[in-house]
Amino acid sequence: SGLPEKELYQRKAKLEEEYLEVSEKIHIINQLLKAYSLFEKNVDYVVQDGRVIIVDEFTGRLMPGRRYGEGLHQAIEAKEGVPIERDTQTLATITIQNFFRLYKKLAGMTGTAATEAEEFHKIYGLDVVVIPTNKPVIRKDYPDRIYRTAKEKWKAIADEIEDCYKRGQPVLVGTISVEKSELLSKILKKRRIPHQVLNAKYHEKEAQIIAKAGQKGAVTIATNMAGRGTDIKLGPGVKELGGLHIIGTERHEARRIDNQLRGRSGRQGDPGSSRFYLSLEDDLMRLFGSDKISNLMLKMGMEEGQNIDSPLVTKAISTAQKRVENRNFEIRKHLLEYDNVMNDQREYIYNRRSEFLETGGIKEKIDRIIEELITDKIEQMEFPKSGIDEQTAAPLLSWLSDILGREVKVEFDETGTISRENLTNQLIDFAIKCHEEKQKELGEEIAPQVERWIALQSIDKRWKDHLYEMDGLREGIGYQAYAQKDPLIEYKFQAFNLFQDLISKINEDIVRNINRIRVAPVVKRKDIWRINKVQHDEMRQFGAAVPVGAAASQHSQMSQAQTMVSEAQQRTQVVVGKKIGRNDPCPCGSGKKYKYCCGR
């Protein structure tokens, strides 16, 4: 380009800075677009006490303390006009699948595992065994009712709730979000039907609401919170009315969530019933097969408020749910393949961290790190096996001198060269010798503790940064498909390079920080408050001075720093009757003015 090297470097640095600034702005805009278009209040999150709290999509419960990453949570806080908190950074990450694999023995029990049997077998190698119920299930599961619009569906749900309420049969209504539960609550309030609402906003009242849900005439509207492991006791006379009636306001993507809701009724041989209400505007129906059903309803000339009540439609919806489940399983399986790469790295780092937490052998571990660091650096610089002269070795010696904090020298042979093996051995011996000197300087008791602390701090800091880099790599690796490359293969390759760089940085940080640490002398600081107290105690009325030695004896338990201050105060005070002017003759008798003699 013809530009001087310095100017070229400055221009390059400026371009990189501008690129980073633009990239940051684009990232922020993307997160704001996600917050405004993809995340709904009272569905994905709620706002309580000026804070955005995530809602678990499966259980409907609040997850305080959990935050979306990469600035998304801040974008939602900006959207809702609440105080924006600092972004969080991931310190540790693991998928649920790999977390469960850490257990030596794995088993579980749930009422809805049958629909996920294939995933259990493929991911964990576990078979699902169905155990019969204690008593036969006599609950009646009615076919789904499908309406053309959501408005018609909500009217039909309210009609059935009103009918059950008038007969005294308790009803549990399951909704998929906080928003939908509050919408139905408004409809029932207009009809003056007493009811209880159980969602993420009122989770603290859960036990009270559930305790009354099986009583005669009770109407309970709940999100998926009431669909998991909740045992609703039936009140007196409820069995004769048909037991607890379950109403589902929408089909969930996963069949097991619907089964969990149905399972609240007809427990331990009790009577019960269930029915799901759907509309073609529901998310599941809109995404899968709603066009065919909508056209069929139009051809049949169905009017507003009419519904399809057929087992064939229920079966078609179950098929749609299976397709969604298979798609979600493939997503989880794909995520697991990527996390397996991180899992290998995680195990290595955690094992290394555990080594430093163990007592004893710290010196040997640090010596191994020194050896690994120098060997890897020499391999990286691709030195020849022999004939390495002083000029060729200079960058390596300069690098090691910077790490050790002292000049590194090696002995060359009579030809002024050195072999790679000899160079490696000399440098390792020199670095280990420096380490031994540092241990003596710190002391036998303190050295292992200091070195352990430095090693753990270096590992933790670098691992945290590595996780951030891996998140960025994971986010953009999909673009490799445009270059006709397998993103997973490319991810593994680039992740390996990043991990090698991580290990090198950790080793370098540990060796550098150990060699740079110094034993600071004890600083004798003045305790201002105590000094003033001493001076107060030493003074008597009208400012008469008391001998400092007497006051010092009263404060024999003071620290060394305060003792030094007392010693400094033990100077004899000369009380002068008349103040000497700067231009007056000096009282020492030298004949000079005071300002040029003792007054200097």
* Higher local confidence (pLDDT), 456 or 526: 456
Q: Residue 497: is its pLDDT beyond 90?
A: yes
- Distance from C-alpha of 344 to C-alpha of 338, rounded to nearest angstrom: 11
Same fold, 140-309 and 345-516: no
Helix, strand, coil shares of the chain, percent, nearest 5, are 55, 10, 35
- Distance from C-alpha of 294 to C-alpha of 149, rounded to nearest angstrom: 10
pLDDT at 246: 95
Which single residue is written with the structure tokens 């619907």?
A: 258
* Higher local confidence (pLDDT), 291 or 422: 422
pLDDT at 522: 62
The answer for residues whose C-beta is within 8 angstroms of residue 555's C-beta and 6 or more apart is: 534, 537, 562, 566
- Distance from C-alpha of 369 to C-alpha of 513, rounded to nearest angstrom: 13
> Tokens for 247?
């109403």
Q: Residue 348: is its pLDDT beyond 80?
A: yes
pLDDT at 75: 93
Stretch 422-442: mean pLDDT: 91
Q: What is the mean pLDDT of the chain?
A: 82
pLDDT at 37: 92
The answer to whether the beta carbons of residues 493 and 480 sit under 8 Å apart is: no
Q: Residue 427: is its pLDDT beyond 60?
A: yes
Q: Where residue 472 falls among pLDDT bands split at 50, 70, 90?
A: confident
> Tokens for 557?
């338990």
pLDDT at 229: 62
The answer for residues whose C-beta is within 8 angstroms of residue 54's C-beta and 6 or more apart is: 44, 45, 62, 63, 66, 67, 68
- Measure Cα distances from 124 to 58, 164, 333, 350 in Å: 22, 44, 12, 23
- Distance from C-alpha of 415 to C-alpha of 428, rounded to nearest angstrom: 23
Q: Where residue 575 falls among pLDDT bands split at 50, 70, 90?
A: very low
Each residue's pLDDT tens digit, 512-532 = 999 988 876 666 655 555 544
Each residue's pLDDT tens digit, 319-343 = 778 888 888 888 888 888 888 888 8
Report field, pTM of the whole predicted structure over 0.85: no
The answer to whether the beta carbons of residues 388 and 424 sit under 8 Å apart is: no
Q: Residue 505: is its pLDDT beyond 70?
A: yes
- Distance from C-alpha of 532 to C-alpha of 375, rounded to nearest angstrom: 60
CA distance from start to end of the chain: 65
Each residue's pLDDT tens digit, 254-271 = 788 888 888 889 988 899
The answer to whether the beta carbons of residues 224 and 230 sit under 8 Å apart is: no
pLDDT at 539: 44
pLDDT at 252: 83
Each residue's pLDDT tens digit, 5-40 = 778 888 888 888 888 888 888 988 999 999 999 998
Pairing of strands 272-279, 140-141: parallel
- Distance from C-alpha of 493 to C-alpha of 480, rounded to nearest angstrom: 12
pLDDT at 560: 42
* Higher local confidence (pLDDT), 462 or 361: 462
Please tell me the total number of residues recorded for the chain in this structure: 600
> Tokens for 225?
């919170």
Alpha-carbon dihedral 528, 529, 533, 534, rounded to 10 degrees: -30
For the domain made up of 5-80, give the CATH fold.
Answer: Pre-protein croslinking domain of SecA (3.90.1440)
Helices marked H in 417-486 — which ranges? 420-442, 446-476
pLDDT at 240: 93
| Superfamily of domain 140-309, CATH level 4 | P-loop containing nucleotide triphosphate hydrolases (3.40.50.300)
Q: Residue 299: is its pLDDT beyond 80?
A: no
DSSP one-letter code for 279: E
Each residue's pLDDT tens digit, 88-131 = 767 778 888 889 988 999 998 888 888 888 888 888 889 999 99
- Distance from C-alpha of 44 to C-alpha of 53, rounded to nearest angstrom: 9
Lowest mean pLDDT among 99-108, 292-301, 421-430: 292-301
CATH of domain 345-516: 1.10.3060.10
> Tokens for 263?
């399972």
Each residue's pLDDT tens digit, 129-173 = 999 888 899 999 998 888 888 999 999 999 999 999 999 999 999
Q: Residue ranges per domain, the chain? A: 5-80, 90-131, 140-309, 345-516
Pairing of strands 388-389, 417-418: antiparallel
> Tokens for 30?
């993307």
- Distance from C-alpha of 324 to C-alpha of 118, rounded to nearest angstrom: 14
Stretch 372-384: mean pLDDT: 90
- Measure Cα distances from 50 to 35, 55, 65, 83, 352 in Å: 17, 16, 14, 7, 42
The CA-based angle 321-298-276, given to 5 degrees, is 35
pLDDT at 425: 92
pLDDT at 293: 64
Q: Residue 64: is its pLDDT beyond 50?
A: yes
What φ, ψ does residue 306 adopt, rounded to 5°? Answer: -80, 155
The answer for residues whose C-beta is within 8 angstroms of residue 321's C-beta and 6 or more apart is: 251, 252, 253, 254, 255, 258, 284
Q: Where residue 310 falls among pLDDT bands split at 50, 70, 90?
A: low
Each residue's pLDDT tens digit, 179-219 = 888 899 999 999 999 999 887 666 667 778 888 899 999 99
pLDDT at 27: 87
Q: Where residue 284 falls among pLDDT bands split at 50, 70, 90?
A: confident
- Distance from C-alpha of 392 to C-alpha of 59, rounded to nearest angstrom: 65
